[in-house]
Chains A and B, each alone.
Chain A
Amino acid sequence: MNDPHLLTLHVNGTEHEVVVEPRRTLADVLRHDLHLTGTHVGCEHGVCGACTAHLDHAPVRACLVFAVQAEGADVRTVESLDHDGELSDLQQAFTDHHALQCGFCTPGFLMLAEGVLAESPDASREELREALSANLCRCTGYQTIVDAVCATAASRREKIS
């Protein structure tokens, strides 16, 4: 009963055709079929947020979406953030603020933060803290992650004004 499906997925602006079992999660298809291993898999039940990616511009848990459900949607992963190998402002801020140690949670935090900042560019530190509480980090203690996201939000607001 593996019921293979031929899917066309739009990931980071590129069309991919894959043949997958319906039980394959979007996280696993990204990693194993498309070799986009930036999306990490932690808990596989929606608690840790390591697999956070964007589906039609909204942050989602890629372990809680079957790849078959993502057909026709715009999928974005952490691989979409850099500019020809140059870190994005948010990625650079993570480095500058020591917002990562082992780095396992980082792609999820980056995609979560990008999703939140896109929707709420004027979010306060408190609001960002609450939004970032969606993901788990076992190294940093979170403060530096909040610092990095707040700094990015502030510098983006400055650029607009």
Chain B
Amino acid sequence: MKPAAFTYHRAHDVADAVALLTDLAAAGEDPKVIAGGQSLMPMMNFRLARPTALVDLGPLRRVPSMTAISERDGTLTLGALVTHHAVETATLSPDWAVLSRTMRWVGHRPIRSRGTVAGSLVHGDATAEWCLLALLLDAVVVAEGPAGRREIPAGELFHGFYATAVDPDEVVVEVRFTRPSPHAALTEFARRHGDFAIVDAAVALDVEGSAVRGGRVVLGGVAPAPVRVPEAEAALAGEAGDDRWAAVADAAVAAIDPPDDGGTTAAYRRRLTRTLVTDACREAAGGIP
């Protein structure tokens, strides 16, 4: 289908974008930010979303910080207009290599050309790879609004069902990942490669020598928002190996209450969770001596 009519406004810098959003809303419009548009445009073409005005961040690609990828002091900072493909092809240290490795799961190459990391986080799909990575690696979303800038930790970002803590009059400026993780992996299952995952699982292992001290287990597709699973994380510590991973997967399956919707049953999502958590643990442990 074709999208409903809207007015189009180009933002020339972040302050301009915020002012446009504020002014348009005050004039009774329902404005929305567009960056890569790879989530918004399908929704507009289906008329599931009908914003009356779009504020385009495209011209901000000229601002170097908006497309910059930088690592410093244990933090990886991505400008708000960094694309999935830019992360896929970036040379990142082992601390952050899981981000590049995961990009092959994000849609397909032409989607990754346009789609942005920040856009994916603000869209907040419960199975989106970036949403899982945000929880896995303690992302902080920096958003600018009429009252200035604020930092939103990933743990407070996702309200479920595509709702996030970023307000309609705010523009994301950058995303910082603050938890380096050289032993991490994300894996998923979809009926066709490139589709939204039915379930996806991400694991980060905190390793000392050859022992696992703890870490993170994050799941998508088992709740209205991506979730950390503390019960599974508690099972991570100990000697690495398939027995350990089976216990982690058992704990994850016991902790979740996945949805039962038409095409996919809760029981199937639990089985996928068991398999995917195990696989993610194995892959994450691949580099342990």
Contact = CB atoms under 8 A, between A and B. Distances in A.
A153 to B, nearest CB: 15
Given A3-B8, A64-B37, A112 B2 contact: no
Contacts of B2: 23, 25, 28, 44
A126 B185 CA distance: 21
Contacts of A65: 37, 41, 114
Contacts of A21: 5
Interface in B4-46: 4-8, 34, 37-38, 41-42, 44-46
Contacts of B54: 22, 66
A134 B52 contact: no
Nearest to B1: A44
B110 A23 contact: no
A49 B4 CA distance: 22
Contacts of A133: 108, 192-194
A151 interface: no
Interface string B69-97: 00000000000000001000000000000
Interface in A49-105: 49, 52, 55, 58-61, 63-66, 68-69
Contact of B85 (A5, A44, A49, A58): A58
Given A3-B5, A60-B114, A68 B109 contact: no
Given A21-B5, A46-B42, A130 B104 contact: yes
B240 interface: no
Nearest to A63: B45
B277 to A, nearest CB: 24
A68 B55 CA distance: 12
B224 interface: no
A1 interface: yes
B41 A46 contact: yes
A2 B5 contact: yes
Contact of B110 (A25, A61, A69): A61
A36 interface: no
A63 B45 CA distance: 9
Interface in A90-137: 112, 115-116, 130-131, 133-135
A138 interface: no
Interface in B136-150: none
B3 interface: yes
Interface string A1-37: 1110100000000000000011101001000000000
A130 B193 contact: yes
Query: Chain A: interface residue count, which band?
Result: 20 to 34
B58 interface: yes
Contacts of B111: 46, 61, 64, 134
A134 B194 contact: yes
Contacts of A112: 109-110
A157 interface: no
Given A1-B6, A44-B45, A130-B104, A59 B193 contact: no
Nearest to B113: A58
Nearest to A62: B110
B38 A64 contact: yes
A49 B110 contact: yes
Nearest to B41: A64
Of A55, A58, A66, most B-chain CB atoms within 10 Å: A66
A11 to B, nearest CB: 17
B151 interface: no
Given A23-B6, A46-B41, A130-B104, A68 B56 contact: yes
A55 B6 CA distance: 23
A115 B42 contact: no
A112 B42 CA distance: 20
A100 to B, nearest CB: 19
Interface of B: 1-8, 34, 37-38, 41-42, 44-46, 52, 54, 56, 58, 85, 104, 107-111, 113-114, 192-194
Given A45-B46, A60-B110, A64-B111, 12 more contacts: A1-B6, A3-B7, A22-B8, A25-B45, A28-B2, A66-B37, A66-B41, A69-B37, A69-B56, A115-B109, A115-B110, A133-B192
